[in-house]
Amino acid sequence: MIDIDEILTLLPHNYPFLLVDRIVEFEHAKRIVGVKNVTYNEPFFAGHFPRKPIMPGVLIVEAMAQTGGVLAFKSFPESKGSVFFIGIDNARFRKPVIPGDQLKLVVEVVKHKREIWIFKGKAFVDNEVVAEAKIMAMLKKEKGE
Ligand code: BDE
């Protein structure tokens, strides 16, 4: 288990743009499962949409990408820096995500070569796939490391 305190040490993100609350499974450089609890109080629900709160699909993809970032940094803690989101393919949004849903973000490494990571992400609510995407990321080390 990786709790929110540790996530905050691994990712540079913060409110209102940190979109993973907890890690419940982790396999070194291979697979990770993140959880995001979705509440009516999410700032994006104010505009998306008034009286019809639906989580923007792009933010579900962002939540998968952040979970992939945790996988990369937890696997290689010496590679301190940032993960840049450099590409996305084959994104699908299959079901609306609404307040009260718990997103399970399953991210698997398709390929990892030097600083480039390719992830396959699936987001589940109640064991149903709500979104999926192939995500590409690049680790950028901090200067002097
Ligand atoms: C979104 C992603 C994947 N599958 C379904 C959906 C979906 O149902 N979106 N719905 C959006 C929506 C927006 C407004 Br404004 C509205 O009044 C209603 Br009735 C909607 O269903």
pLDDT in tens, 33-53: 999 999 999 999 999 999 999
Closest C-alpha residue for ligand 1 atom 1: 96
With a cut of 60, say whether residue 143 has pLDDT above it: no
Question: How many A from CA of 54 to the centre of ligand 1?
Answer: 7
CB 103 within 8 A of CB 35: yes
Q: Is 112 a catalytic residue?
A: no
In this structure, the residue with its CA closest to atom 11 of ligand 1 is 54
Model confidence pLDDT, tens digit, residues 83-106 = 899 999 999 999 999 999 999 999
Q: Which domains occur in the chain, in start order?
A: 4-141 (3.10.129.10)
CA distance 142 to 145: 6
Q: Hey, what's the torsion of the CAs at 35, 93, 89, 104, to 10 degrees?
A: 10
| Residue 2: per-residue pLDDT | 98
Distance 64 CA to ligand 1 centre (A): 21
The Å distance, Cα 46 to ligand 1 centre, comes to 15
Report which of 33, 30, 144, 22 is spatially closest to residue 81, judged by C-alpha positions. Answer: 144
For the chain, give the mean pLDDT. Answer: 95
CA count, 13 A, side-chain hemisphere, 6: 14
